[in-house]
């Protein structure tokens, strides 16, 4: 088994054994990787600082049969708000959990690594709820499991005006194809979701989001994730404890 060195984001951390941690990393070289960090809960461990949620690290790993082993790591970037402000941590956990759930193991994706870099930086100065929403739609797109937001899944027609949406059917439906049980899918909501998918994360970029559309866009995202994963994301409970409800 060989060693390799890569940049990585820490997306998940669980205590294990007496002084160890199981970590989920999103690495530049190998995509999502699960690894053990032995002894890293001991205060003097050289791994202690790096094996924390949301750190961007330079890490050396030894390949293992099921889990890799963290040999060395140093912090490349510490995100202050993600590391210390509860609401930001809560929405950051949502993004980390989503990336963990949606990305396959050992499949490198420099695009997703670059996206996580932009998202984590955005959490430092943007509204965390909006960052999480945009991230959700963009990560879904990278996973290839996104629904159809701009065209009717029934007839393929490009949507115009207010339409409907049915998650089990795969997305938006025009008036002719609408089915019972469809959700309302207004033109404004569609514009918001398409803008979220295309959002470029430049510092100057802004998104105007009305309260109604924000709630609807979150609803569609969360319902879609529920049906994909078959269970609610654990981070939603964290967000709820911070805000009462999402």
Which are the contacts of 245, defined by CB distance < 8 A and separation ≥ 6? none
Nearer to Zn ion, 152 or 236 (CB): 152
Nearer to Zn ion, 92 or 154 (CB): 154
Work out how close the CB of 178 gets to Zn ion at its nearest, in angstroms, rounded to a whole number: 8
* Residue 201 contacts residue 118 (beta carbons within 8 Å): yes
Nearer to Zn ion, 93 or 164 (CB): 164
Nearer to Zn ion, 33 or 147 (CB): 147
Of 147, 152, 150, the residue nearest 175 (C-alpha): 152
**Tokens of residue 167, six digits:** 């998650």
Residues that bind Zn ion (CB under 5 A): 152, 154-155, 174, 177
Give me the residue label for tokens 């949606």: 102
Nearer to Zn ion, 178 or 196 (CB): 178
Work out how close the CB of 148 gets to Zn ion at its nearest, in angstroms, rounded to a whole number: 10
Work out how close the CB of 163 gets to Zn ion at its nearest, in angstroms, rounded to a whole number: 8
Residue 176 CB-half CA count within 13 A: 10
Residue 113 CB-half CA count within 13 A: 20
Work out how close the CB of 156 gets to Zn ion at its nearest, in angstroms, rounded to a whole number: 7
* Residue 173 contacts residue 152 (beta carbons within 8 Å): yes
3-state secondary structure of 20: strand
Work out how close the CB of 153 gets to Zn ion at its nearest, in angstroms, rounded to a whole number: 8
Q: How many angstroms separate the CA atoms of 113 and 132, rounded?
A: 16
Which are the contacts of 55, defined by CB distance < 8 A and separation ≥ 6? 9, 10, 49, 75, 77, 78, 79, 83
CA distances (Å), origin 50, targets 57, 79, 198: 6, 12, 32
Work out how close the CB of 100 gets to Zn ion at its nearest, in angstroms, rounded to a whole number: 35
Work out how close the CB of 146 gets to Zn ion at its nearest, in angstroms, rounded to a whole number: 18
Nearer to Zn ion, 62 or 153 (CB): 153
Give the other-Cβ count within 10 Å of 111's Cβ. Answer: 9
Nearer to Zn ion, 47 or 172 (CB): 172
* Beta-sheet pairing, 171-173 with 163-166: antiparallel
């Amino acid at each position: 088994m060989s060693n390799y060195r890569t940049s990585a984001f820490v997306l998940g951390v669980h205590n294990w054994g007496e002084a160890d941690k199981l970590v989920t990393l999103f690495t530049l070289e190998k995509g999502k990787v699960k690894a053990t960090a032995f002894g890293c809960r001991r205060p003097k461990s050289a791994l202690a600082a790096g094996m924390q949620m949301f750190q961007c690290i330079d890490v050396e790993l030894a390949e293992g049969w099921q889990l890799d082993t963290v040999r060395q790591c140093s912090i490349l970037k510490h995100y202050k708000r993600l590391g210390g402000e509860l609401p930001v941590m809560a929405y950051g956990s949502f993004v980390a959990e989503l990336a963990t759930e949606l990305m396959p193991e050992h499949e490198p994706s420099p695009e997703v690594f670059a996206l996580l870099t932009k998202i984590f930086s955005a959490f430092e100065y943007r509204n965390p709820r909006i960052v999480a929403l945009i991230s959700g739609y963009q990560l879904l797109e990278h996973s290839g499991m996104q629904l159809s937001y701009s065209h009717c899944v029934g007839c393929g027609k490009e949507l115009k005006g207010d339409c409907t949406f049915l998650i089990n059917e795969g997305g938006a439906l025009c008036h002719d194809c609408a089915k019972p049980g469809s959700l309302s899918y207004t033109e404004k909501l569609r514009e918001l979701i398409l803008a979220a998918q295309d959002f470029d994360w430049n510092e100057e970029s802004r998104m105007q989001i009305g309260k109604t559309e924000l709630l609807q866009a979150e609803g569609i995202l969360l319902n879609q994730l529920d049906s994909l994963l078959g269970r609610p994301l654990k981070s939603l409970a964290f967000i709820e404890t911070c805000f009462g409800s999402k």
